[in-house]
Amino acid sequence: MSHLQLRSAAVRPTADGPMVLHPTTLELTEQRIALVGANGSGKSTLARLFNGLVPASSGQVLVDGLDVAGDGARVRRRVGFVFSDPAAQLVMPTAAEDVALSLRRTHRDKAARRAAALATLDAFGLAGRGDQSVHTLSGGQRQLLALAGVLATSPSVLVADEPTTLLDLRNSLHVGDLLLSLEQQLVLVTHDLDLARRCDRVLVIDAGRVVHDGPAEETVERYRALAVAG
């Protein structure tokens, strides 16, 4: 299992602006970790620290002992990131080409790469869509494709920022099951409390701080109480 660490890591986008994440010290070694909290509480910011998409303004972020600030390229090879908006990461014209791009390191031969890409699409419920333009896929299909592309790179950690928001119930359940059954460590930003409850550890973020942190069931209930109290 990977080892994610924050050492007094804080995020303050502008020198005279507010802290988006107050100095936070954490060690994450569990298999499945959920980040929950209100809109704008800082969940995405915290999640993005782990692959350097957001740099820490102070403190340190380590992935398996590698400092994200100094070893960014190696860290990004370990940490796959799925955005809530798949448009942020789909770069090729067709679905098969997009997955094939992710497979370029592991599958040098072009025909083998395409075959592997099509098999990956099948596994993600996108059978027969290989040659379809990414732009004509539905929002949910694009999200499945984005997830397929990231997992095809075999990251040791997957950070997923609201990966089920665009999906219908069936696909949402399918992707939820898939994420929770991954071998890799999962850091999941989600508003889906059913999904959070199935993780090993839940962190509740509020106004840029981790305010609760513990086993899923009881921590989700603390979040509920916090939300109801307003």
Q: What is the DSSP letter of 69?
A: T
Calculate the CA 201 to chain-centre distance: 15
Piece in contact with ligand ATP (CB under 6 A), picked from 23-31, 43-51, 74-82, 169-177: 43-51
43 is an interface residue for ligand ATP by CB under 6 A: yes
Our finding on whether 41 is near ligand ATP (CB under 6 A) is: yes
Evaluate whether 86 touches 171 at the Cβ level (below 8 Å).
Answer: no
Closest approach of ligand ATP to the CB of residue 12, in Å: 9
Tell which one of 5, 45, 51, 120 touches ligand ATP (CB under 6 A).
Answer: 45
Question: Of 1, 40, 88, 136, which one interacts with ligand ATP (CB under 6 A)?
Answer: 40
Out of 1, 8, 13, 29, the residue judged to bind ligand ATP by CB under 6 A: 13
Rounded CA-CA distance 139/172 in Å is 12
Cα 64 to Cα 104: distance, rounded to the nearest angstrom: 25
Q: Are 11 and 65 in contact (CB under 8 A)?
A: no
Q: Answer whether 62's CB lies under 8 Å from 76's CB.
A: no
Taking CB under 6 A as the rule, does residue 215 contact ligand ATP? no
Minimal distance, residue 227 CB to ligand ATP, in Å: 12
Q: Does 76 bind ligand ATP (CB under 6 A)?
A: no
* Cβ pair 167, 176 in contact under 8 A: no
Chain residues in the site for ligand ATP (CB under 6 A): 13, 20, 37, 39-45
